[in-house]
Structure 1
Amino acid sequence: MTHINALDPGASPLDYYGFELRRHREAAGLTQKQLGEIVNYTGSLVGQIETARKLPTPEFSQRADAALETGGQLSRLVDLVLRSQLPAWFQQVAELQARAVEICSFEALMVQGLLQTRAYACAVLGVLDKSNLEDRTAVRLARQGIFEKEEPPVFWAILSEAALYLEVGGRETMREQLAHLLSFEYNPRINIQVLPFSAGAHAGLQGSFDVYRFASDPAIVYTEGYGSGHPTANPDTVKDCSLRYDHLQAAALSLRDSAELMRRVMEERYGEQRDSDGDPVA
């Protein structure tokens, strides 16, 4: 087992976080158990985070910052820690998402990662590999912190109607996921459209893609394969995908009609089932 005194704060962002958490805790004269009681976590969890064996969460960091009067240091560090846990090929993409002033996303099959609920993300990530699933899910959800910035990006998402019907994680998970999408209905910075089956052949048949736009840098197109990502600033590719996105938006339902479709699918397909006597079905 790793001994905390052996931690090298320069080894990784996670090690540095654990080193700083321990330093602030000891300066406050608290044991791991005492700090755990203050922040409503177990002392064992505090110890695991200090020894870089467990990922901290934004919530834990906020509570620890308040308890240890760190001036918000741990909350600032946790974003770096969680981003460092992403697959190496995706870390650059997460940085692009964090810097973008506008994100235009088309998803051909499932709900886009920045819009996923915890249960939905867990079901997606756990299809073939359930190891460290809780931590991997937390890392994915942490990327959604870009919407909480003082100046969050404008986000346009086009989802295929198939994403509403592909039952990821079961009925309750899908109901919660669609309710989450509907929670953005009146948010002018997060806009969700559904590309209906009736659209037929469309400009996104080659697959999902994102377009990231920045305040002063060239736009970047991102596509993804199995275990690899492909960002490119090639002007011809950006021009082509931007045109495709314009056509997808034209073929998609309006924001209002998209919300109505999501609401209808949520109730009719994933609503509470009842028997002939009107009683809920177990």
Structure 2
Amino acid sequence: MTVENETVEHADPTLSPLAHFGYEVRLERERLGMSRSELGKEAHCGYSLVAKIEAGDRVPALSFAETCDRVFPYSNGRFERLWPLALRWAFPPWFRRYVELEWIATKLQMFHPLLLPGIVQTEEYARAVLQAGRPTNLDDLVTARMERQRILERERPTRLWLVLNEGVLRNAVGDAAVMAKQLRRLHELAQCPPHVVQIVPTQGNNHLAASPFGLLSFNEGADIVHVDGFPRGYLLADIDDVTMANDAYDLLKSMAAPPDESADMIDSISKDCYS
């Protein structure tokens, strides 16, 4: 194995957790005499992505951190431990606290009136939504959004209860192929305990909530409310706010079709609109 000698600018590792992660990857790779291409092959990615991660320019997926721990001797899980810090750097500062809470939540109750929430978006849907804001770090934002979804699939998953207006499924994001794939994902989720998906039919005339909001529950401690908005969301922990949000969510669930009907509704809309 050889060490590549291209001149690549490396970020100061003290600048951010992301820069520190990249510095540690480069340090261990060069110590092992491994090329970026060789590391990329191990991690099922290309030379370019390895170079960007080392330079602190891209957020790594968890699978990349796991590869580093497997390939580099004596890492002892260091890269997987560093990964959550690097990942949070991809989120806006105001959203990082929410991500921390979401990661440890035992249950999420979410309502969205216009779009699928990030926690259930496919990569293509997420990219179409995020690129509308013309961000300079689109790839990082997409990676971070996809990595958040691990909480739904881990050994002890966070339970998701999702209520959507029917219009969300008919609001085309991207092309028909993007929407068809997204609704397949939602269809699978609706049939996968312990998660629940409910759809408020258009004729239900849901005027209760105009903005997305959610409730996070934990093994210890009170629920917290997250309200999504522009230009930023915010967290509420006051007991009166939490009580009001719980009452509103109960009403939304009562307006929605029963959970057992969700998969058929999703399938029907997909065939009508995107096949």
TM over 0.5, shorter chain: yes
Alpha-carbon distance between aligned partners in 1 of 2:167 and 2:252, rounded to the nearest angstrom = 15
Residue number in structure 2 paired with 1:246: 250
Alpha-carbon distance between aligned partners in 2 of 1:71 and 1:266, rounded to the nearest angstrom = 46
Task: Return closer, same or farther for 1:11/1:132 CA change in 2, 3 Å cut-off.
Answer: closer
Residue number in structure 2 paired with 1:3: 9
8 Å Cα contact 1:36-1:46 kept in structure 2? yes
Residue number in structure 1 paired with 2:68: 64
Residue number in structure 2 paired with 1:121: 126
Instruction: Give the unaligned 5+ runs of structure 2.
Output: 1-6
Stretch deviating more after TM superposition (164-173 or 90-99): 90-99
1:229-267 per-position Cα deviation (integer Å, ceiling 9, x unaligned): 121111111111101111111111111211111000111
**Structure 1 counterpart of 2:185, from 162, 180, 186:** 180
Alpha-carbon distance between aligned partners in 2 of 1:259 and 1:159, rounded to the nearest angstrom = 13
- Alignment pair present for 1:85 and 2:83: no
Amino acid at match of 1:217: G
Identity of aligned residues (%): 31
**Structure 2 counterpart of 1:259, from 258, 263, 269:** 263
**Structure 2 counterpart of 1:212, from 216, 233, 253:** 216
8 Å Cα contact 2:169-2:266 kept in structure 1? yes
Alpha-carbon distance between aligned partners in 2 of 1:40 and 1:211, rounded to the nearest angstrom = 37
Q: Per-residue deviation at 1:60?
A: 2.5
Alpha-carbon distance between aligned partners in 2 of 1:36 and 1:207, rounded to the nearest angstrom = 42
RMSD, aligned CA: 1.9
1:97-126 per-position Cα deviation (integer Å, ceiling 9, x unaligned): 112111110001111110000011111111
Alpha-carbon distance between aligned partners in 2 of 1:37 and 1:232, rounded to the nearest angstrom = 45
Alpha-carbon distance between aligned partners in 1 of 2:47 and 2:130, rounded to the nearest angstrom = 29
1:136-147 correspondence to structure 2 within 5 Å: 136-147=141-152
The DSSP-based 3-state class of the residue aligned with 1:207 is: coil
**Structure 2 counterpart of 1:31, from 32, 35, 44:** 35
Task: Return closer, same or farther for 1:214/1:38 CA change in 2, 3 Å cut-off.
Answer: closer
Amino acid at match of 1:99: I
Q: Per-residue deviation at 1:186?
A: 3.0
Task: Return closer, same or farther for 1:35/1:268 CA change in 2, 3 Å cut-off.
Answer: same
Instruction: Give the unaligned 5+ runs of structure 1.
Output: 272-282
Alpha-carbon distance between aligned partners in 1 of 2:102 and 2:42, rounded to the nearest angstrom = 35
**Structure 1 runs of 4+ with >4 Å offset:** none
8 Å Cα contact 2:53-2:60 kept in structure 1? yes
Amino acid at match of 2:22: G
Amino acid at match of 2:63: E
In the superposition, the TM-score normalised over structure 2's length comes to 0.90
8 Å Cα contact 1:194-1:252 kept in structure 2? yes
Task: Return closer, same or farther for 1:39/1:113 CA change in 2, 3 Å cut-off.
Answer: closer
Aligned residues: 268
Stretch deviating more after TM superposition (78-87 or 257-266): 78-87
Residue number in structure 2 paired with 1:268: 272
Alpha-carbon distance between aligned partners in 1 of 2:213 and 2:48, rounded to the nearest angstrom = 42
- Alignment pair present for 1:76 and 2:76: no
- Alignment pair present for 1:237 and 2:241: yes
1:19-39 per-position Cα deviation (integer Å, ceiling 9, x unaligned): 211222123232323323443
Task: Return closer, same or farther for 1:159/1:8 CA change in 2, 3 Å cut-off.
Answer: same
